Amino acid sequence: MESTRKLISVWLSLALMCFLVGCTSTPETPPTKLENQVTNENTTPENFTSKNFTSNEENLGSQVSELSEVPSSSPGSYEDMIAQSTNMQGNYPQLKTAASSYADNNYPSDSQERHKTMTVATIAAGAHYLDGDKKNAIVYSRKARDFSGESGIIFPASWQGDLTADKSVAEAQKVARMKDFIISTSNEGLEPYKKGSSFFQAAQYPNTIINYRQGLGHGLADEELRLICYVRLAASLYKVGNLEEARNTFLHSWLVFPDQLPEKLNSSVNFGDGATRSYLNDMLEDFKDK
């Protein structure tokens, strides 16, 4: 009887344990629609990149290709006008229009842009001069000075009037006289010229060069003063050892004043010591043989 009672107690305990375990466990639920989408949708980084950025990369590539095809100097640009100004006599008709428009419509905001506008206005002045329009040549010469700095107008390097195998005296003379006319359109350089002359008399050649360059850059209206300035500047450059620029400067004075220069060299005007005068006279004889 006692053993039967114990057996019934064990079975009741087991039944209670089974009941408790069944109540605490939860049945497995089927996946929701959202979970199915997350599982089935292929959202790897590779597919994400291809779906969102491939078209942008293709567009960027085409844009870079288009930019690479843009010419380095488009017509009417600063670079284009600088390139054309190497042959002013051949290109002045189109430069007259393009350079004038650039100078009239450009409003520089920094020193670099001011220098560009000064250069283009100078090109416009030269183009009008070669076209026989001295009135507008004066207008753009003055406009160039408005944008110039302390040194005044600085001519394009290609306007250096050196004589080469492919450039006749007549061609070089036209460019030299064009430059001289631009210089003559103002007299704002008179004071620097006077200072330069004082330094020249004192044989202070570096200071002479600085002031004579400023005098020419800002303008000298008097023809005789320009001639003296050119020759003394050449003499000063010779004294400091800058022989190439000395030659080009003296050549410019001869191209502009071929008849007056010999007479001026033999006058009482001080152009330096005996060695300097001999150097200048030797160059003059060389130029006459061209």
Asked whether the predicted pLDDT for residue 19 surpasses 60, the reply is no
| Domain spans in the chain, listed from the N-terminal domain onward | 75-149, 162-290
Token pair for 91 = 């290109």
Q: Who has greater pLDDT, 30 or 164?
A: 164
Token pair for 262 = 């010999």
Q: How far apart are CA 88 and CA 111, in angstroms?
A: 26
What is the arithmetic mean of pLDDT over 140-164?
87
CATH of span 162-290? 1.25.40
Asked whether the predicted pLDDT for residue 113 surpasses 60, the reply is yes
Judged by DSSP in three states, 189 sits in: coil
- Residue 200's closest CA among 249, 152, 233, 241? 233
pLDDT grade, residue 5 (50/70/90)?
low
Judged by DSSP in three states, 246 sits in: helix
- How many other CB atoms are found less than 10 A from the CB of residue 139? 19
Q: Who has greater pLDDT, 151 or 122?
A: 122
According to the model, what pLDDT value does residue 170 have?
A: 87
- How many other CB atoms are found less than 10 A from the CB of residue 77? 14
Asked whether the predicted pLDDT for residue 107 surpasses 70, the reply is yes
Judged by DSSP in three states, 138 sits in: helix
pLDDT tens track for 20-67: 445 444 444 444 444 444 334 443 333 333 333 233 333 333 433 333
Question: How far from 148 is each of 17, 88, 189, 220, 264, CA to CA, in Å?
Answer: 104, 21, 13, 16, 31
Q: What is the pTM of this model?
A: 0.73
Asked whether the predicted pLDDT for residue 232 surpasses 60, the reply is yes
Which residues on neighbouring strands pair with residue 149, listed in sequence order?
A: 152
Asked whether the predicted pLDDT for residue 244 surpasses 80, the reply is yes
According to the model, what pLDDT value does residue 131 have?
A: 97
pLDDT grade, residue 288 (50/70/90)?
confident
Q: How far apart are CA 190 and CA 144, in angstroms?
A: 18
